[in-house]
Amino acid sequence: MINTSQFQQMKEKGEKISMVTAYDYPSAKLAQQAGIDMILVGDSLGMVVLGYSSTIKVTVDDMIHHGKAVARGAGDTFIVVDMPFMSYHVSLEESLSNARKIYQETDAHALKIEGASSDTILLIEKLTEAGIPVVAHLGLTPQSVNVLGGYRVQGKDKQTAEQLLTDALAVEASGAAALVLECIPKELAELITRSVRIPTIGIGAGASCDGQVLVYHDIVKYGVDRVPKFVKSYKDNNAEIKVAIESYINDVKSGQFPGEGHSFSMKREFLPDIQG
């Protein structure tokens, strides 16, 4: 398993970091078997596996429930767990208590928090001091979707680009171990990647980031109808799973399933007599 100092070294050596989300035991197990460097238990689980329209309804308990399942499936992989919406903005005490709970109960190796507000910067500092590595997340920060005015590319003009660079330097200075950059122009992601010593992990942020992260269900097209422009899908499970279930239904309806090979048998003579 890689650790935070190793992914720092990967950046220095120009070795790309691969990261994928996982939300349960089978997805975590397969990601680990495939050799992924890091797994993110993203609060995107709210949309991808719980069917919410945003990440805003996801709770600390949801993150723990899914984080534990992922840890059981990928015990030898570096696991980052998201702190969900409003679990870290009410007060520092409450943020630290939620962070402790998620970190301890899921066996995560790092927590991820969005943004670079003064609250967030202070929390990154406190968690890092306490020994909890923090992955920062800038650009499109889905927990603020209603403030940002939708899921759109961030940092396209001079002012917001400068702000993002300032924020990146601030999260690094406060101790963040890595930085997720979501949906920003590739030119800005490259500049930020060159400006910070910590690894940047991009999603919709071009090829210059030190690593890439994508949502599991997007890569393998499982249950998602539309994937964003920045996603590359490698397989279409939607189509294959639908055909498999249709075939099963047909077999059940036509009596073709279960066949002899799927059934158990016993000696006729041991069958009880019908009473009465």
Q: Write out the residues near ligand KIV by the rule CB under 6 A.
A: 21, 40, 42-44, 82, 137, 180, 182, 203, 213, 215
Among 80-88, 207-215, 241-249, 262-270, the segment contacting Na ion (CB under 5 A): 80-88
Q: Is 139 in the site for Na ion (CB under 5 A)?
A: no
Asked whether residue 105 is marked as a ligand-binding residue, the answer is no
> Closest distance between ligand KIV and the C-beta of residue 207, in Å?
17
Binds 120, which of Na ion, ligand KIV, none (CB < 5 to 8 A, cut-off by type)?
none
CB 84 within 8 A of CB 60: yes
Asked whether residue 24 is marked as a ligand-binding residue, the answer is no
Q: Is 62 in the site for Na ion (CB under 5 A)?
A: no
Strand partners, 134: 111
Indicate left, alpha or beta for 221 from its phi (over 0: left) and psi (-120 to 50: alpha): left
- With residue 208 as reference, give the H or E element that holds it: none
Active site residues: 182
Q: Where are the alpha helices (DSSP H) in the chain?
A: 4-13, 25-34, 45-48, 60-73, 92-106, 118-130, 145-148, 158-173, 186-195, 216-219, 237-254
Q: Which residue is nearest to ligand KIV (CB)?
A: 42
Provide CB contacts within 8 A for 42, sequence distance 6+. 21, 23, 82, 112, 215
> Closest distance between ligand KIV and the C-beta of residue 11, in Å?
18
Choose, by CB under 5 A, the member of 31, 38, 41, 42 that binds Na ion.
42
> Closest distance between Na ion and the C-beta of residue 203, in Å?
10
Asked whether residue 62 is marked as a ligand-binding residue, the answer is no
Q: Is 133 in the site for Na ion (CB under 5 A)?
A: no
Q: Tokens for 261?
A: 């090979």
> Closest distance between Na ion and the C-beta of residue 245, in Å?
30
Choose, by CB under 5 A, the member of 43, 167, 182, 210 that binds Na ion.
43
CB 216 within 8 A of CB 27: yes
Q: Is 218 in the site for Na ion (CB under 5 A)?
A: no
Choose, by CB under 5 A, the member of 24, 37, 62, 82 that binds Na ion.
82
Asked whether residue 114 is marked as a ligand-binding residue, the answer is yes
Q: Tokens for 252?
A: 């059940």
Dist. CA 216–CA 239, nearest whole Å: 16
Dist. CA 94–CA 88, nearest whole Å: 7
Asked whether residue 208 is marked as a ligand-binding residue, the answer is no
